[in-house]
Amino acid sequence: LGAMGDPRVKPGVLEKGVLLRLRFHFDQYVNLRPVKLFQGVPAALAGDRKIDMYFIRENTEDFYVGLGSRVKTGSSREQLKLIRKTYEVKFDIGIDLKDTDELAYQIGIITRQGARRVIDYAFDLAKKKGADLVTSVDKANVLTEVYGLWREEVEKASSSYGIEKEFQYVDAVALHMVRNPERFKVLVTPNLFGDILTDLGAALQGGLGFAPSGNINPSGVSMFEPVHGSAPDIAGKDLANPVGAILSSALMLDTLGYKDAAHEMESAVMSVLSDGKHMTADVGGKMSTTAMGDAVLNVLKSQ
């Protein structure tokens, strides 16, 4: 899937009407975001950093379910409904608002099944990658119900897979990602926190132009896309960084079981970037989109 966005469209329309709708319709409950800093790419952090981690973000629940409203002063009744592939829930909320003119609210939902399946995916990935620790990210000290349930499923998965787990609050993870990102290998997060932290991760790997992603249903239809937006200000100018899109293709191949092809594609990107000279404008380079793509293709052909 290509980058999507238009500054003329009100925020939330494309996100809810297209991206979230696709994820929900195909039940793409895993958002997989590798964060890897390749040699030669200008780094946000000083020093020789070995940044190589995987974010597994729950992709269909939490505070992104789209349940919420605005209420004016007085008494009202709100009826909300959520339909997913595996369950349906209805809310009938009576509201009596006094002493202020308006309030807005959003509802966050985590089901046990929804938590279990993405957490199992994270521990399974950790096993495949040889990681001995999975970091679970939440804010269970404040949002005790939704993330208390989340933690219960992390405990079960850790015991079942025989892999150690640690619980970290989202604010602490943000701090550690800047101070010591090398400590992380596999992180599993609820939807909202994963959305925020993965963009911090993109900054650590050189910027959004280098960041791939996959919206995955392990037994259904998956969707792969670069993380960056549509950048209408440079549309048609041959300036965009194609690395995120290329790595998204590699991630797709890997997920579909074409491990060798995925490795060759990622290795070609690494080879091109390694000397620090092949860079597009987003990181201070002079290469065009076409030239960068051709450079990766030439390496692939020579392998």
Q: Which of 64, 121, 165, 282 is catalytic?
A: 64
Is the Cβ–Cβ distance between 184 and 156 less than 8 Å?
Answer: no
For the question of residue 199 being annotated catalytic, the response is yes
Question: How many Å apart are CA 281 and CA 206, to the nearest integer?
Answer: 12
For the question of residue 254 being annotated catalytic, the response is no
Q: Which of 27, 124, 127, 139 is catalytic?
A: 139
Q: Which of 6, 132, 199, 275 is catalytic?
A: 199
Output phi, psi for 272, to 5 deg.
-65, -40
Question: How many Å apart are CA 283 and CA 211, to the nearest integer?
Answer: 13
For the question of residue 171 being annotated catalytic, the response is yes
In sign, the C-alpha dihedral spanning 141, 105, 111, 133 is: negative
Question: How many Å apart are CA 271 and CA 40, to the nearest integer?
Answer: 9
Q: Which of 6, 171, 238, 275 is catalytic?
A: 171
Return the exposure string of 165-190: e unless at least 16 CB atoms fall within 10 Å of the residue's CB, then b: beebbbeebbeebeeebeebbbbbbb
Q: Which of 62, 138, 195, 254 is catalytic?
A: 195
Task: Using alpha carbons, select from 136, 10, 122, 138 the residue that is nearest to residue 56.
Answer: 122
Radius of gyration of the chain (CA): 21
For the question of residue 195 being annotated catalytic, the response is yes
Question: How many Å apart are CA 111 and CA 69, to the nearest integer?
Answer: 21
Question: How many Å apart are CA 163 and CA 158, to the nearest integer?
Answer: 5
Q: Which residues are part of the catalytic machinery?
A: 64, 139, 171, 195, 199
